[in-house]
């Protein structure tokens, strides 16, 4: 068992963001609180094959809202928030990891975490990119974009691609993948600043602010006069309904998320599903775990594009663990520009 020696017996303070209780409606900062009086031993308990890690970056993601409801995969009231993050191994009870290794995967919203479920933990081998990228482009959102676009949508050069929530952690990557393949790409977002970023920095062909469109069907017909081949779904509700009116024959819809619905007590209905029948539209939902086995293949594709500057990635970094609750809640009113990350500690 790898151990860092006597200094690892140290007990240190361990600030934590605690989940207060199950949430209905929009999450609020007060649904979480900062606990400052906790401590932790910097050593894996005897006989455990887990890891003791120092958390460096934490990821704020829309799916976390669903874990704030009472369900089989809920967060535990009175315990730290759990999400994806980047961490450094302080002590290891597992031969696959050693002290000093950098990892990404599920961890706690705290300064130090004991991770016992190593199944979905990845060792970081490429450190010539910002470590925060492993909460985004090289982590869960990146693999989500890759699996949803390439595996679910089977895209072809020249196809017409629409992405909702296009400036978010996943959408911005799907758009760039589609452009690299030679597709026509349009994205929707919720502010002029985000629309400008989509067109100018992320090189989308077109983008629009959905808040300024009273008729989403008309907006889509303006940008897709010949219809949509691929819709990458992050929003749901009225946007999905409008898209269904504009899909082309044999179009594909990858259902990644539906952020417009997560905070509603009663989800909105979708009325235009019959259009899927005579257009033979293929609509498939997926989760990132479906594509974990493709992670090495994904890195082979993305790392050269990052190195060559073919792909850019927008991050919105909040500093300090105490800024986590506001950063997470801000996702649901669109405060973030790009991937929302919380910096807990420098390496």
Task: Tell me the per-residue pLDDT of 282-332, one tens digit each, with 9 for 90 and over.
Answer: 999 999 999 999 999 999 999 999 999 999 999 999 999 999 999 999 999
Query: What torsion, rounded to 10 degrees, do the Cα atoms 16, 19, 20, 26 define?
Result: 130
What contacts 340, CB < 8 A, 6 or more positions away? 59, 60, 61, 169, 316, 318, 327, 328, 330, 331
Quote the pLDDT of residue 72: 85
Quote the pLDDT of residue 71: 87
Cβ(33)–Cβ(20) below 8 Å? yes
170: exposed, middle or buried (Cβ count in 10 Å: 0-12, 13-18, 19+) = buried
Sign of CA dihedral 60, 173, 138, 292: positive
By DSSP bridging, strand 82-92 and strand 51-59 are antiparallel
Cβ(168)–Cβ(176) below 8 Å? no
Quote the pLDDT of residue 2: 42
Sign of CA dihedral 154, 157, 162, 168: positive
By DSSP bridging, strand 82-92 and strand 102-108 are antiparallel
- Percent helix, strand and coil across the chain, each to the nearest 5: 30, 25, 40
- How many residues can be counted in the chain? 347
What contacts 192, CB < 8 A, 6 or more positions away? 209
Quote the pLDDT of residue 4: 42
Task: Give pLDDT tens digits along the chain (347 positions).
Answer: 344 444 547 899 999 999 999 999 999 999 999 999 989 999 999 999 999 999 999 999 999 999 999 988 899 999 999 999 999 999 999 999 999 999 999 999 999 999 999 988 999 999 999 999 999 999 999 999 999 999 999 999 999 999 999 999 999 999 999 999 999 999 999 999 999 999 999 999 999 999 999 999 999 999 999 999 999 999 999 999 999 999 999 999 999 999 999 988 899 999 999 999 999 999 999 999 999 999 999 999 999 999 999 999 999 999 999 999 999 999 999 999 899 999 999 97
Nearest to 36 by CA among 12, 57, 58, 54: 12
Q: In this structure, what are the phi and psi dihedrals at residue 116, rounded to the nearest 5 degrees?
A: -105, -20
Task: Tell me the per-residue pLDDT of 81-100, one tens digit each, with 9 for 90 and over.
Answer: 999 999 999 999 999 999 99
Cβ(206)–Cβ(228) below 8 Å? no
Nearest to 262 by CA among 84, 27, 82: 27
Quote the pLDDT of residue 265: 87
Quote the pLDDT of residue 22: 96
């Amino acid at each position: 068992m790898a151990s860092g020696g006597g200094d690892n017996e140290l007990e240190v303070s361990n600030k934590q963001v605690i989940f207060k209780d199950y949430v209905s409606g929009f999450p609020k900062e007060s649904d979480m609180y900062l606990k400052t009086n906790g401590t932790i031993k910097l050593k894996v308990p005897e006989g455990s094959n887990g890891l003791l890690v120092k958390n460096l970056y934490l990821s704020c993601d829309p799916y976390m809202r669903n874990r704030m409801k009472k369900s089989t995969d809920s967060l535990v009231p009175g315990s730290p928030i759990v999400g994806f993050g980047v961490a450094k191994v302080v002590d290891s009870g597992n031969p696959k990891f050693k002290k000093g290794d950098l990892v990404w995967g599920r961890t706690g919203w705290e300064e130090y975490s004991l991770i016992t479920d190593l199944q979905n933990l990845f060792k970081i081998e490429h450190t010539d990119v910002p470590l925060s990228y492993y909460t985004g482009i090289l982590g869960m959102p990146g693999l989500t974009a890759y699996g949803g676009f390439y595996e679910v949508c089977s895209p072809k050069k020249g196809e017409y691609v629409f992405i909702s929530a296009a400036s978010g952690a996943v959408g911005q990557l799907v758009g760039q993948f589609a452009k690299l393949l030679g597709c026509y790409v349009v994205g929707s977002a919720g502010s002029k600043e985000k629309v400008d970023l989509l067109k100018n920095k992320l090189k989308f062909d077109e983008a629009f602010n959905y808040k300024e469109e009273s008729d989403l069907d008309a907006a889509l017909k303006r940008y897709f006069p010949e219809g949509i081949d691929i819709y990458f779904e992050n929003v749901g509700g009225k946007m999905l309904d409008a898209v269904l009116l504009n899909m082309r024959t044999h179009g594909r819809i990858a259902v990644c998320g539906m952020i417009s619905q997560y905070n509603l007590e009663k989800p909105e209905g979708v009325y235009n599903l019959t259009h899927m029948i005579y257009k033979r539209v293929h609509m498939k939902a997926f989760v990132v775990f479906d594509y974990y086995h493709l992670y090495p293949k994904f890195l082979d594709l993305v790392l050269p594009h990052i190195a060559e500057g073919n792909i850019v990635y927008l991050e919105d970094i909040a500093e300090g663990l105490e800024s986590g609750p506001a950063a997470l809640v801000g996702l649901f009113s669109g405060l973030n520009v790009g991937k929302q990350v919380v910096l807990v500690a420098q390496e």
